[in-house]
Amino acid sequence: MSDFADCLNEMRNHYKTNAAEGRSTHYVPSERFAKKFQASNLVGLSADDQQIVEGLQKLGQDTGQEDADYNQQAIAARTEELKGAGNTPAAQKTFKEQMEEQKKRAKDNAAQNIDKIYDEAIRIGEENPSAQGAIVSTMDVLSNLWDSLVTKIVDFVKDIVNKFVEWVKNAWESITSTFNAIGSWISGWFGFRLAPA
**Which of 37-51, 64-78, 142-156, 175-189 has the weakest average pLDDT?**
37-51
Quote the pLDDT of residue 87: 81
Q: Is 189 exposed, middle or buried (0-12, 13-18, 19+ CB in 10 A)?
A: buried
- Percent of the residues in the chain that have a pLDDT greater than 70, as a whole number: 92
* Percent of the chain predicted with pLDDT > 90: 53
**Given this model, what pLDDT does residue 27 score?**
86
* Residues belonging to the chain: 197
User: What is the per-residue pLDDT across 46-79, written as a single tens digit (0 to 9) for each?
Assistant: 889 989 999 999 999 999 999 999 999 999 999 9
User: For residue 60, which of 4, 132, 143 has the smallest C-alpha distance?
Assistant: 143
* Domain parsing of the chain, residue ranges: 3-15+46-187
37 vs 45: CA distance, rounded Å: 16
